[in-house]
């Protein structure tokens, strides 16, 4: 009985590790640096129309700061990006004050973005898993 309880305890850890690439590396987050003087929202997506249907503008990143949660996944980017069609990670940066003063629906429908990125797995690896705005 103890063996089964131990197996049950470790089952989520075994299932949770989905990244089995050849290098056994797993990046679940991309560091985002906001070098601007304004606060921004950062939204990452895979589907090219996803942001239009999302109810929130993403994670707020304060001016002149870094954030390791704004662009993150439960599984590995090394696993996820290659299976997407197209195989890219999209990132949208918006002015936090504009979103807070109006609505995310308004900003996204009018595409009032400060910056829109599209990164391949190779791009992210070459940038050492770091995105700097602007």
Domain of 121, in residue numbers: 2-133
CB proximity list for 94: less than 8 A, separation 6 or greater: 40, 41, 43, 57, 58, 107, 112, 113, 114
Report the number of distinct structural domains present in the chain.
1
Q: What's the CA gap between 118 and 63, in Å, rounded?
A: 22
Q: What is the pLDDT along the chain (134 residues), one digit of tens a residue?
A: 544 333 334 344 444 444 544 445 899 999 999 999 999 999 999 887 666 667 789 999 999 999 999 999 999 999 999 999 999 999 999 999 999 999 999 999 999 999 999 999 999 999 999 999 99
Q: Which pLDDT does position 57 carry in this prediction?
A: 93
């Amino acid at each position: 009985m103890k063996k089964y309880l131990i197996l049950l305890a470790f089952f989520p850890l075994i299932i949770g590790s989905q990244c089995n690439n050849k290098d056994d590396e797993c990046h679940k987050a991309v560091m985002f640096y906001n070098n601007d003087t304004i606060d921004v929202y950062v939204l990452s997506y895979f589907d090219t129309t996803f942001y239009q249907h999302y109810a929130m503008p993403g994670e707020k990143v304060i001016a002149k700061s870094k954030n390791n949660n704004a662009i993150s996944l439960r599984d590995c980017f090394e696993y996820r990006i290659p299976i997407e069609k197209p195989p890219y990670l999209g990132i949208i940066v918006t002015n936090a004050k504009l979103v807070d003063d109006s609505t995310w629906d308004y900003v996204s429908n009018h595409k009032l973005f400060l910056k829109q990125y599209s990164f391949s797995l190779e791009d992210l690896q070459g940038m050492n898993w770091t995105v700097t705005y602007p």
